[in-house]
Chains A and B, each alone.
Chain A
Amino acid sequence: MKKTVSRRNLLKGGLAGTAAIAVMKNNETQAAQTFEGYPEGMGVLVDLTRCVGCRSCEAACNKEQGLPEPAKPFDDYSVFDEIKHGQKRRTDETAYTIVNKYDIPELDHPLFRKVQCNHCQEPACLTSCFVNAYTKTPEGAVIYNSKVCVGCRTCMIACPFYIPTFKYSSAFNPRIMKCIFCYDTRLKDGKPPACVEACPQEALTFGRRNDLINMGRQRIRETPGKYVEHIYGETEVGGTAWMYLSSVSFDKVGFDTHVPKEPILNSVKEFLAIVPMVLTIWPGLFAGFHLLATRKEKIKEQEEKEEQV
């Protein structure tokens, strides 16, 4: 009896070992499982109906992150009319956040939209990075490590919001420049990011992501007609830490409403799934083909040898 038990244990150990190897080998597929974000993660709810386009957030971000002096003062509102390649302003290596103005025909006043990293729950930049330069912190920030970055810029391809920017101007010290939720200086100490603190209108509400969703729903529910019934970022690309409320449909204020509902990684899984299969099936398959294809030759060789003997 004792023997059987020990043998069973041995078997168990063996199985566990095999499973461990399988897990280690299948790193690629393991990582492809869904991750719904840290429960305690923080976020920001951006209410477009509150924003007045004062650009205080831009100024605060600039100072907090030590970004270069802007070309125009932050109280210069002519920047809202800047158009490049037919597009409104975007974030770049000198600005982690920008505010754009949208004239809405059915409204008697313009709407303003703040753009910064949305700090996805399952970030595409992170999952596409082959040197693990990105980290989603338990606080909710998606941060970047310039020390390991190779500069391949796949994260910029993968980000559905066009957020990571590259320091193209530098040959010796280039890096990705993007909003990091003021992680180093504020968020990790429980403080809100600089832009949130600077916003006079509380268009930016900082809080636990879960609480923010409740707040957003409350605003939609209790002020009927004020908002469209959607929190942008609640489900987009698997959910983002920064979310938006708007009084007009989101495509009218520059949002991409066609981004997938699922994390970007999900569309890559199709391929990731075949990797272990090719790795395990191909060798046997093609070795078999080889044997079949060269069988006649082998027989011939054999016969020739036998004849010689």
Chain B
Amino acid sequence: MRTRKRIIQTAFALAFGGILIIPTHGWSMDAEDAPESVTIDSLANLYTGVEFNHAMHVEYASCQECHHHTTGGAVVNPNCARCHRNSGEADEVTCTGCHATNRFSETYIRALEAPELYHIDKPGLKGAYHLNCVSCHETTSGPTGCLDCHTMTESGEKMFNTGSHSPAKGQQSGH
């Protein structure tokens, strides 16, 4: 079904010289379109970035389980389906495209006041990553500990008083 649609679309595009690529509704992406691996490090500070093996994860989950409706496939969540049943592939499929890094900034919070806005509760980028990854890892027995995915940096050790910044042994017995 999907392939046939794709063929028609391709044929259509070719018919117009093969250079005109219009994002059309009902057009969805495939796993093969995705990169092998993604480096998630835009927020890296206390931990080093994560080398995300996209190709491997494709075997565990369908696109829409992580990318919601943006890849064009049928959305999983019935609540999302109320609006996004036929919204097709989006311009932007990356996490950063929708999930803001400045989720709690004044400007972002003020923008939530728009009366028409439905997505008043969209997680920020960090939240989106972890909520998505951890909840799935919990049900699929994937790694869930912080250090299973991340390596703690020096500043992380300082923040958590661990590793080279562990509390002095003498004080430890004090409490």
Contact = CB atoms under 8 A, between A and B. Distances in A.
A219 B121 CA distance: 8
A298 B132 CA distance: 91
Given A69-B171, A75-B162, A218-B121, A202 B109 contact: no
B161 A74 contact: yes
A171 B166 CA distance: 29
B120 A218 contact: yes
Nearest to B174: A71
Contacts of B20: none
Report whether over half of chain A's contact residues are helix, strand or loop; otherwise say mixed.
loop
Contact of B79 (A62, A71, A223): A223
Contact of A202 (B120, B130, B162, B174): B130
B109 A208 contact: yes
Interface in B87-120: 103-106, 109, 112-113, 120
A201 B127 contact: yes
Contacts of A106: none
A202 B138 contact: no
Contacts of B79: 222-223
Contacts of A59: 159-161
A307 to B, nearest CB: 85
B124 interface: yes
A290 interface: no
A297 interface: no
A69 B167 contact: yes
A208 B161 CA distance: 32
Interface in B30-60: none
A279 to B, nearest CB: 47
Contacts of A218: 120-121
Given A74-B159, A211-B112, A218-B120, 11 more contacts: A69-B171, A72-B167, A109-B138, A197-B104, A200-B126, A202-B128, A211-B109, A211-B120, A214-B120, A215-B120, A222-B79
Interface of B: 79, 103-106, 109, 112-113, 120-121, 123-124, 126-131, 134, 138, 144, 146, 159-162, 166-168, 171-172, 174-175
